Amino acid sequence: MNKCYCMRPHVFVNLAMSADGKLSTKERRQVRISGNADFRRVDQIKSQSDAIMVGIGTVLADDPSLTVKDTVLKKERIDAGRDENPVRIVIDSRARTPVDADILHKGPGKRIIAVSGSADPAKTALLSQYAEIKVCGDEQVDLLSFFDYLGTIGIRNLMVEGGGTLIGSLFAEGLVDELFTCIGNMIIGGSDAPTPADGEGFINEADFPSLVLKDATKIDEGILLHWMVRKKDNLQ
């Protein structure tokens, strides 16, 4: 086992998918999948997190700000001596984050962009005006070493918002501890539409991440599933 493992944050993935398992349309256009009750739940768990993470595909498709929305939740964070928003993190090997992206400008708080050695130094210099730039890996962001780094700067609880490519890599690296899946009451369809764990996928059944269902709750017009990930070295 990597000796830094205990330092890595506790990671929970939160996603909303249609009844046919799609995160967005085949054009990667954002869709409102869940309702107001789920929106409040997501805001709540976000406000309890030290950091929130997305992949560059999500920044380019949705331009999210990832701020806490509810004023009471914001105040609770500030009263507890924390920043108004969790640390906002983009996984972005080639530093493609637009300099005018909402995540860099909306709301106070720290931002980190994880890049690789393949990123254009001129672009990283530009982005460093708005975010800490952390180089991890040669071609693609090395998630294991980046998560070790997050442990060293005190990130204990990390919420991952997507998208499917990043989530697929996190499962492949064994970095996910919990998964919240809100299933909405619509069919999006399309074989090219993003799903919760895209990317390479797993070939051998022995490699499939195994989940333990902790809870299933009706929410809005859909259902919320809360899963724990069974760790290979610590079967629950």
Kindly list the residues in this chain that would bind ligand NAP in the complex (CB under 6 A). 15-17, 23-24, 28, 30, 33, 54-58, 61-62, 91-94, 96, 140-141, 143, 161-166, 169, 194, 198
To ligand NAP, the closest distance from the beta carbon of 75 in angstroms equals: 27
In terms of CB distance, is 21 or 151 closer to ligand NAP? 21
DSSP string, the chain: --TTGGGSPEEEEEEEE-TTS-SS-TT------S-HHHHHHHHHHHHT-SEEEEEHHHHHHH--------HHHHHHHHHTT--SSPEEEEE-TT----TT-HHHHSSSS-EEEEE-TTS-HHHHHHHTTTSEEEE-SSSS--HHHHHHHHHHTT--EEEEEE-HHHHHHHHHTT---EEEEEEPS-----TTS--TT-SS---SGGGS--EEEEEEEEETTEEEEEEEEPBTTB--
To ligand NAP, the closest distance from the beta carbon of 93 in angstroms equals: 3
To ligand NAP, the closest distance from the beta carbon of 6 in angstroms equals: 22
In terms of CB distance, is 82 or 199 closer to ligand NAP? 199
To ligand NAP, the closest distance from the beta carbon of 136 in angstroms equals: 9
In terms of CB distance, is 155 or 197 closer to ligand NAP? 197
Maximal CA-CA distance, the chain: 49
Nearest Cα to Cα of residue 62 among 145, 210, 164: 164
**Cβ atoms 149, 89 nearer than 8 A:** no
To ligand NAP, the closest distance from the beta carbon of 124 in angstroms equals: 13
To ligand NAP, the closest distance from the beta carbon of 214 in angstroms equals: 19
In terms of CB distance, is 76 or 177 closer to ligand NAP? 177
| 196 φψ region: left (φ > 0), alpha (ψ -120 to 50), beta (else) | alpha
In terms of CB distance, is 43 or 76 closer to ligand NAP? 43
In terms of CB distance, is 63 or 70 closer to ligand NAP? 63
In terms of CB distance, is 140 or 157 closer to ligand NAP? 140
To ligand NAP, the closest distance from the beta carbon of 113 in angstroms equals: 10
